[in-house]
Amino acid sequence: MSVRVCYFIRHGETDLNREFRCQGRQDIALNETGRAQLAETASKFDGTKIDAIYASPLKRAMESAEIIAREKNMAVRPLDWLVEINYGELEGMNLKECEAKFPGVLKTFQTDPVSVVFPSGEPVWHVAERLCKGLSELLESENGTVFLVTHQIIGGIARSILEGKPLSTLWEDKLVNGAFFRFEITQDHIRRLREFSKP
**Which amino acid type is present at position 120?**
S
**Cα-trace Rg, the chain:** 16
Q: Is 11 a catalytic residue?
A: yes
End-to-end CA distance of the chain: 26
184 beta partners? 5
> What CA–CA distance (Å, rounded) separates 156 from 13?
17
Annotated catalytic residue within 11, 13, 151, 189: 11
DSSP label of 58: S
Bridge partner list, 182: 7
Q: Say how far apart CA 154 and CA 159 lie, in whole Å.
A: 9
List 13, 63, 84, 122, catalytic entry: 84
- List the catalytic residues: 11, 84
